[in-house]
Amino acid sequence: MSQTTERVKLLIIGSGPAGYTAAIYAARADLKPVLYQGLQPGGQLTITTEVENYPGYPEGIQGPEMMMDFEKQAKRFGTDIRFGYATSVDFSSAVKKVVIDEKHTIEADAVIIATGASAKWLGLDSEKRLNGFGVSACAVCDGFFFRGQEVAIVGAGDTAAEEASYLAKLCKKVTMLVRKSEMRASKAMQHRVLNTPNIEVLFNHETVEVIGEKTVDAIKVRNTVTGEENTIPVTGFFVAIGHEPNTQIFKGQLNLDESGYIITKAGSTYTSAPGVFAAGDVQDHIYRQAVTAAGSGCMAALDAERWLASQGIH
């Protein structure tokens, strides 16, 4: 049971580009936001090394450093930033209730959800160890670093096919590993992949290990039919087996799509619960970029500000 209760005007859950941008706008609008950072302060960017595609950083920047900049800016305008994570919510009444760390209840007039999504991984120790050092879950983010090199990508759906096609434009060769005898991707995407000369699709293949000391040197793969193992020299290893939105605690409270992403009203960050807004990857399974997350964080703060005013809450 909750031991303490606190009342706030605006609560922001999550601390990636969406959460921090929402905090910057909300604090400047004098909404006195309280932000809880969650289990991974800074979000997915804290496990990213070089970020070269965010405007305003002409020389690029390390992901964790960039998130520290976001945090400092949110703090500068008076955001109350706290460590802790939301463990349950109740959006059924005008005052929203969010329990933090199973013991502290926040009662809020408005809530912005920016809990993000987590990439699904294969679960290999070597994959975890080399994450950010040749292992990536985002070809659009990191493909640029592998120009003219040979890389591998794991996955069988539209995202994997799309990312393989993207990598093929930059890389010398792309080996696509598909665990079963066919892809799940749409026929159009399969056609594109199979007709790209520098993409080799290995059906019935799974990854056994990512090889390399400090960076990726090769991958060991196994044929799932014959059991035969081979080593393929690559410098980059991309995992495209999907993302999991961090929305478990919102089930039954908000409308979610079949994959668990929060559904927002078109052209806005409004969710199905009045006074609850969603920004960033928790509601975006298409773009999933730091810059689009930040943009929707700005939208959420503006939507929340207008909604609070419409309710006579200033």
Q: Give catalytic status of residue 109 as yes or no.
A: no
Question: Following DSSP, what letter does each residue of 295-310 receive, concatenated?
Answer: HHHHHHHHHHHHHHHH
- Cα 308 from Cα 30, distance rounded (Å): 12
Q: Give catalytic status of residue 138 as yes or no.
A: yes
The set of residues, in sequence order, having a beta carbon less than 8 Å from that of 267 and lying 6+ positions away, is: none
- Cα 6 from Cα 53, distance rounded (Å): 39
Q: Give catalytic status of residue 141 as yes or no.
A: yes
HEC readout, 159-199: HHHHHHHHHHHHCCEEEEEECCCCCCCCHHHHHHHHCCCCE
Extract the tokens encoding 262.
């929060």
Of 229, 243, 171, 177, nearest to 205 by C-alpha is: 177
Which of 141, 281, 284, 303 is catalytic? The answer is: 141
Is residue 299 within 8 Å of residue 269, measured between CB atoms?
yes
Which of 138, 158, 217, 298 is catalytic? The answer is: 138
HEC readout, 136-148: ECCHHHHHHHHCC
Task: Provide the annotated active-site residues.
Answer: 138, 141-142
